[in-house]
Structure 1
Amino acid sequence: MDLIFYLAPSFIACVALCAGFAVVRRSLRLRAAWRGGLTAEARCLRAYTSRGGDDHPHTTQHHVYEFTARDGRTVRIDEAGGPATTVPGDVVVVHYAARHPEHATARAPRPGTNLAGTVLLLGFLGVVVAFCVFFVAEVPTGLHI
């Protein structure tokens, strides 16, 4: 029975660490796209929403953009979290790095906001992992719920 007191917090900590990895990866991709120095006009091909969450449902706006990179390749990206005012047919400016045009973004450069959001989310995930480690460390010493 005590095994559950080890497995559950370990699983939660692993999920939190994976989420932290994904947050850092997305933040670095945005930063690289903004610092890449290349821009292009992209056409919005499609706008759609996705729903998620069982207890607290939420809707996320997505846009599919297509543009021609500087090297002549046609690149199509699907970006979540865009403005609801962008509709198919609209032309927007995308920022990208020459090495990875598939990581382009139509978001306006806001490195400070990106950094602050990343730090806050990583701080929260760090608290979750710390609690899980504390919980697992205290189970053998008598913390029985």
Structure 2
Amino acid sequence: MELFFYAVPGVMLAGFAFAAFLLVRRARRLSRTWAHGLTAEARCLRMYTTTSGGGGDTSVRTTLHHVYEFTARDGRTVRFEEEGGPATVLEGDFVTVRYLPELPQRATAKAPSPGRLAVGTGFGLVLLGVAGSFCVGFVVTAHSMFSESGGLMP
């Protein structure tokens, strides 16, 4: 039974650490793309929305997606999807995209905004840190309860 009180927070901590890793990796890749990426003209092939949440008392979150296609400098035709783009871009519109030559499928049509990226990444890391600290606090509290009771919970 004690293992349950250590294993669940441990798995949650591992998940939070992995989420933080993905968040930082995404921010670094996007920042590098904005700073050192090549530019190309892309066409918006499709625009659609997805919804999540909803039902009962929960709020509904709508996310805007765009599918773009462009020709990289090496002549390859690249198609990619990006979520959270501007609502002013419609199907058939042409936009400037930035991409790294080694990862053209990870292109972005978002305008460079390093300040917004830093704030969003920082907020996400703080949120994950707070959640992780609750897990650590839970483990410490559970450990002290097990120590005082001789190994079994009262």
Letter in 1 for 2:13: A
TM (norm. structure 1) is 0.89
Structure 1 residue identity aligned to 2:70: F
**Aligned match for 1:82, one of 82, 85, 88:** 85
The CA deviation at 1:58 is 0.8
Alpha-carbon shift at residue 70 of structure 1 (Å): 0.8
- Greater C-alpha Rg: 2
- 1:72 lines up with 2:65 in the alignment: no
Distance 1:38 1:4, change over 3 A: same
Q: What is the TM-score when the length of structure 2 is the normalising length?
A: 0.84
Compute the displacement of 1:121 (Å).
1.0
Query: Aligned partners of 1:99 and 1:44: how far apart in 2?
Result: 22
- Kindly state the Cα deviation for residue 28 of structure 1 after the two structures are TM-superposed: 1.4
Cα deviations across residues 6-43 of structure 1 (Å, max 9, x unaligned)? Answer: 33322332222222122112111211211224111100
Counterpart of 1:108, as a letter, is A
CA offset at residue 81 of structure 1?
A: 0.3
Q: Determine the C-alpha separation between the residues in 2 that align with 1:20 and 1:130.
A: 14
Residue 39 in structure 1 maps to residue 39 in structure 2 = yes
Matched residue count: 144
Deviating beyond 3 angstroms after TM superposition, the runs of 4 or more aligned structure 1 residues are 1-4
Distance in 2 of aligned mates of 1:134 and 1:32: 37
Instruction: After superposing the two structures, state which structure 1 stretch, 10-19 or 38-47, moved more.
Output: 10-19
Q: 8 Å contact 1:45–1:89 — kept in the other structure?
A: yes
1-side partners of 2:100 and 2:22: how far apart?
20
**Helix, strand or coil: the match of 1:142?**
helix
Q: More displaced, 58-67 or 115-124? A: 115-124
- Residue-by-residue CA offset, 1:70-100 (whole Å, 9 max, x unaligned): 1111111100101122111000110112221
Q: CA deviation at 1:109?
A: 0.6
1:92 paired to 2:95: yes
Structure 2: tracts of 5 or more residues without a match: 147-152
Aligned to 2:18, the other structure's residue is in SS state: helix
What residue ranges of structure 1 are gaps of 5+ in the alignment?
none
Structure 2 residue aligned with 1:104? 107
Q: Report % sequence identity.
A: 51
The 5 Å alignment of 1:24-63 reads: 24-53=24-53, 55-63=58-66
